[in-house]
């Protein structure tokens, strides 16, 4: 929205809840300023004041902070007065999300020139056109149910998932297979069965949203698992490394972290009270892990409403004992 607002001649202020106000926007604000908009923030965080128009030009932006910056610039670029060139410094992490942005722009009549590794883009002034499309099923939300089916279910089938989707969280199936889970999929569905999981080494730099559910899975595996590519997870809705460390410790699961690596020693989980720090994915991850535990209390459980409002009722419909206080 910061980038879209930069395409208008009006003064806009963008703010939000406590977790949003901790998210960094400095690099995006600088890039928009270099493209001709006026954009200021509170020491690099929202609230953001922004005013266009977007004139055009060339900008450079880091590829290892947030792919959302690149997507934001791409969405706004066609409405700039002149050509916009976007150059990504270093490796673009979570590249699939940027590719999904380009695909969606194409659906609405906008064409972007990009190199093969998506580190250089050139966008001419264009107009978005109306279109009809069908939105795919959400792999991010489904990952939690697949994890639940794997560690505590009988046989769970999820329909409406595109097996060839560009969504990076589709990688959950590959991870489960590497953990020796009984999971199989076809063109539009996935089936998971309760399995004894093996420890795994996995890189989540291109699928960072899988980190919380991966922690839940690794906590149940008999052995030591290693998750790499975690550096950016400290600037999500919460510091997800800190939140998962805290919650897993409450459940008697040992962990260890470095700048870019998180190690989990799987074992038997214990009764616990979990604070998800207003983070929907943290709450859902511990909801899944709670399926194997005598009792887990998750405070602020309604934070799942950000992405999956019916998560608790869906768990209940699948046989989980869920009680709201």
Q: Would you name the residues annotated as active-site residues?
A: 209
Strand order across the 12-14 sheet: 12-14, 45-51, 38-42
Contacts of 308 (CB under 8 A, 6+ apart): 141, 144, 280, 284, 314
- Residue pair 37/54 in contact (Cβ under 8 Å)? The answer is yes
Nearest to 289 by CA among 299, 298, 278: 298
Q: Which parts of 188-321 are beta strand (E)?
A: 189-193, 201-203, 224-228, 254-257, 261-265, 272-274, 296-298
- Residue pair 129/154 in contact (Cβ under 8 Å)? The answer is no
C-alpha dist (Å) from residue 21 to 44, 64, 193, 240: 10, 20, 40, 16
DSSP string, 66-104: -HHHHHHHHHHGGGSSS-EEEEEES--TTHHHHHHHHHH
Residue 36's Cβ-side half-sphere holds a number of Cα atoms within 13 Å equal to: 18
C-alpha dist (Å) from residue 200 to 86, 246, 289: 37, 21, 17
């Amino acid at each position: 929205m910061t980038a879209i607002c930069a395409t208008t001649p009006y003064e806009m202020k963008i703010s939000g809840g406590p977790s949003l106000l901790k998210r960094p926007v400095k690099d995006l604000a600088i890039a928009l300023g270099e493209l001709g908009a006026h954009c200021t923030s509170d020491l690099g965080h929202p609230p953001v004041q922004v005013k266009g128009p977007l004139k055009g030009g060339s900008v450079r932006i880091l590829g290892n902070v947030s792919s959302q910056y690149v997507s934001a610039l791409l969405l706004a670029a066609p409405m700039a007065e002149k050509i916009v060139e976007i150059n990504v410094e270093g490796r673009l992490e979570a590249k699939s999300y940027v590719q999904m942005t380009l695909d969606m722009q194409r659906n609405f009549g906008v064409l972007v020139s990009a190199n093969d590794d998506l580190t250089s883009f050139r966008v001419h002034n264009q107009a978005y056109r109306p279109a009809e499309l069908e939105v795919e099923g959400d792999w991010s939300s489904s990952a939690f149910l697949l994890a639940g089916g794997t560690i505590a279910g009988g046989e769970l089938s999820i329909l409406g998932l595109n097996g060839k989707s560009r969504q990076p969280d589709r990688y959950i199936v590959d991870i489960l297979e590497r953990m020796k889970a009984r999971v199989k999929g076809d063109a539009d569905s996935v089936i998971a069965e309760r399995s004894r999981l093996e420890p795994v080494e996995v890189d989540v730099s291109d699928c960072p949203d899988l980190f919380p559910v991966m922690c839940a899975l690794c906590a149940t595996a008999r052995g030591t698992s290693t998750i790499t590519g975690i550096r950016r997870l400290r600037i999500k809705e919460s510091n997800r490394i800190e939140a998962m460390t805290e919650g897993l410790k409450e459940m008697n699961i040992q962990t260890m972290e470095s700048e870019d690596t998180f190690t989990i020693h799987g074992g038997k989980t214990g009764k616990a009270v979990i604070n998800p720090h207003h983070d929907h994915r943290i709450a859902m991850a511990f909801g899944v892990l709670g399926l194997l535990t005598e009792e887990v209390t998750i405070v602020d459980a309604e934070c799942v409403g950000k992405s999956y409002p019916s998560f608790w009722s869906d768990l209940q419909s699948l046989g989980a004992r869920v009680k709201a206080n």
